[in-house]
Amino acid sequence: MRGLVLILALLSAAGCGLNERDDYLVGRPCTPGVADVCDEGQVCLPHEWSADGPGAYRCRSAASFQQVGNEEAPLAYCDDTMFFCPAGLVCNADRIREDAGFRQRVCKLPGDPFAPPLDAGPSW
Amino acid sequence: MVGARSANGARVVLPGQARHRWPALLALAVAWCAAGEARAARVVVFPLDARGVDASLTQEGTRTVLARLRRVRGLEVVDPETGQAELGVNLTKQARACEYDVFCLVEVGELLQAEQVLIGHLSRPLPTDPKADEGLEFKLIVLDVARAAITEVLLWRVPDLDPSALQEAARAAVSRLFAPKDAELMVELSPPDAELRIYGEQVNLPEAGTAMPYWSGVYHAVVSAPGYLSERLRIPVMRGDEPARVSVSLEPDPLYVAEAKGPVKVFDKDSRRIGSGASAGTVGAVEVPPPSQRYAFQSVPPWLVAGAGVGLSALGAALMQSAQASYNTRAEERRFVAGETYGADVAIRVRDDSRLRYRAGSGTLIGGVGLVVGAGLWMVVDALLTEPARVGEVRPAGQPGRAALDPAALAAARRMSLEAR
């Protein structure tokens, strides 16, 4: 009988976990500089960068930068001081866009065809 | 004696010889009496009647009785074949026709000019007989033909082991009935109040260390005492200078339940072992249902527990489903949309809440399943414990006895008792 109780206790402790998705927080607004605001492996990055500075912070993971179908993944800005890209991505100059006021660096997949040559010097 | 004969052969007493007549007659009378005392008593032996036992067993028993009787001095044995030849009737049928009436039986003895009749039977007791486990009933009756009366009755219980046990019992029985005590028996029993039963017959023992006269033979006996395990013995008692010695020390019975002495208050003690020694069932204070009406899986409490387990399981499953649904709703909403996508802080709270509810639901579900499993085990154990009572006996009220356990459990309990002691 004790054995049965022990087994039940272990099962209960282990518990059947909630069936979760790993992108649960991706794309959600976050506050930079606050610990654990995004999940592990995710970074709170700005999605707007105007003359006033960065804004529209959202959680991003490396997977969220993968292109899905013909739709390009949302851009997230980065720099070398505060906003670091998730592991596996590089912070590089964005391609030239029509609506871009200036070329801020964004998180890109390594080997992105639109990435400028790394030896081209600063783009801004 | 001196005499003369006449010419026609008639004896003639001569003058002067008459004064010697009375002493001669007296001598004749003494001689006749002496001859009468020495004359062997004639015993008619009826075949042992078989009642519920194999006829070959009683035939063997009858042969053993006859063989032993022929060795007793002063007896002339009329065996069944001789009796049947002289009377022309089957003695067993005759005895049954007489319905074992004494006057009817001694009539057979008179016809055969016998002084005694030996008649008996070997019977298997009914299972309802409280002494059924003591063996076969072996009964011998000695009838005095002249007085038309029963002079000896021997009623023994012979262990139903093999024919040799019956042979030993038959030889000892004949010695008991027809031969003098020719041996000695010395018995020492522990505990002192233990009793010795030889062939089911209690022996009145003298003081310890004292030999008592007994008949030679081989005896099957049981030594028993309240609170102790009985012991079966085979005691050979031989003729000779040295008495046959029997020394038995009984082992305590760890499962013994003493007989109630006087009125018993049920459940007034923590344990019946330290109480009056009687259980409620023993004194008839509670009604024990007949064994045939007890079935496994009929007990209500396990079913109630199982029902509660099913209910808990359903509740747990519902909690889990609800928590997962809440999480999914939040997880599947659109992202990167300003003003529409919930913030990470809100989503984290929702997720933590869903996790907590899901864990509670899973715990409840497992607990419910555990209850169902436990109830099932309960029923199985209950069924296993109920089974012996179903096929075993229910002791009548007021009769002490031992708990019905299988031999392995009994041996284990005995070992524990001895170790504790």
pLDDT in tens, B198-248: 998 999 888 878 889 999 999 999 999 988 999 999 999 998 888 898 899
The answer to whether B113 contacts chain A (CB < 8 Å) is no
B56 burial type by CB count under 10 A (0-12 exposed, 13-18 middle, 19+ buried): exposed
Residue % of chain A over a pLDDT of 70: 71
DSSP letter at A65 equals G
A18:B327 CB<8 A: yes
Q: How many interchain CB pairs under 8 A, A with B?
A: 72
The residue in chain B having the minimum alpha-carbon distance to the alpha carbon of residue A1 is: B374
Decide if A68 touches B, using CB distance below 8 A: no
Residue A92, both tokens: 């590089």
**pLDDT band of B128, cuts 50, 70, 90:** confident
- The secondary structure of residue B44, as a DSSP letter, is E
Q: What is the pLDDT of residues B322-362, one digit of tens each?
A: 999 999 999 998 888 888 889 999 999 999 999 999 999 99
| Token reading at B401 | 């006895």
Alpha-carbon torsion A115, A116, A118, A124, what sign?
Answer: negative
pLDDT score, position B115 = 92
Record the tokens describing residue B297, joined without a space: 């899986």
Please judge whether A20 and B374 are an interchain contact, meaning their C-beta atoms are less than 8 angstroms apart.
no
CA dihedral defined by B169, B174, B176, B177, rounded to 10 degrees? 140
C-beta separation of A79 from A91 below 8 A? yes
pLDDT the model gives residue B296: 61
Binary contact (A12, B362; C-beta < 8 A): yes
A18 contacts in chain B (CB < 8 Å): 323-324, 327, 351, 354-355, 358-359
CA-to-CA distance for B24 and A92, rounded, in angstroms?
165
Q: Which pLDDT does position B267 carry in this prediction? A: 56
Q: Whole-angstrom Cα distance, residue B255 to residue B227?
A: 8
Q: What is the pLDDT of residues B5-18, one digit of tens each?
A: 434 443 433 444 44
Phi and psi angles of residue B339, each rounded to the nearest 5 degrees, phi first: 80, -10
Average pLDDT, chain A: 80
Ranked by mean pLDDT, the top range of A81-95, B129-143, B213-227 is B213-227
- Window 3-62 of A: residues touching B by CB (8 A cutoff) are 4-5, 8, 11-12, 15-21, 24-31, 37-38, 47, 56, 58-59
CB contact under 8 A, A37 and B345: yes
Q: What is the pLDDT of residues B263-294, one digit of tens each?
A: 666 555 554 445 444 444 444 444 445 554 55
Helix (H) / strand (E) containing B64:
helix B55-70
79-98 of B, contacting A, C-beta below 8 A: none
Tokens 């492996």, residue located: A41
Closest chain B CA to residue A59: B344
State the pLDDT confidence band at B108, using cuts at 50, 70 and 90.
Answer: confident
Is A30 or B240 the better-scoring residue by pLDDT? A30
Task: Using a CB–CB cutoff of 8 Å, tell me whether A75 touches chain B.
Answer: no
Domain positions in chain A are: 22-112
Provide the pLDDT for residue B398. Answer: 40
Nearest to B347 among A12, A28, A47 (CB): A28
> Residue A4 and residue B377: Cβ atoms within 8 Å?
yes
**Structure confidence by residue, pLDDT tens digits, A33-55:** 888 899 999 999 999 888 888 98
User: pLDDT tens-digit profile of B49-102?
Assistant: 888 888 888 899 999 999 999 988 888 999 988 888 888 878 888 777 776 778
> What was the pLDDT predicted at B382?
83
- pLDDT score of A116: 54
Q: Are B395 and B297 in contact (CB under 8 A)?
A: no
pTM: 0.44
> What gap in Å lies between CA B297 and CA B261, rounded to an integer?
37
Contacts within 8 Å (CB) and 24+ apart, B378-386: B378/B299, B378/B301, B378/B302, B378/B305, B379/B296, B379/B297, B379/B299, B379/B302, B379/B303, B382/B296, B382/B297, B382/B299, B382/B302, B383/B296, B383/B297, B386/B294, B386/B295, B386/B296
Q: How far is B303 from chain A (nearest CA, A)?
A: 18
Measure CB to CB from residue B373 to each of A4, A25, A31 and give the nearest one. Answer: A4
CB of B312 within 8 Å of a chain A CB? The answer is no
- Are B351 and A24 a contacting pair at CB < 8 A? yes
In Å, how far from its chain's centre is CA B265? 31
Q: Is the pLDDT of residue B34 over 60?
A: no
CA distance B330 to chain A (A): 8
B positions 321-340 inside 8 Å of A (CB): 323-324, 327, 330-331, 335-336, 338
Average pLDDT over residues A15-37: 88
B163-177 per-position pLDDT tens digit:
788 899 999 999 999
Interface mutation target, options B322, B340, B345, B371, chain A, most CBs of A under 10 Å: B345
What's the first-to-final CA gap in chain B, in angstroms? 87
Find residues 340-399 of chain B whose CB sits inside 8 Å of chain A: 341-345, 347-348, 351, 354-355, 358-359, 362-363, 365-367, 370, 373-374, 377
What single DSSP character describes residue B108? H
Contacts of A16 in chain B (CB under 8 A): 320, 358, 362, 365
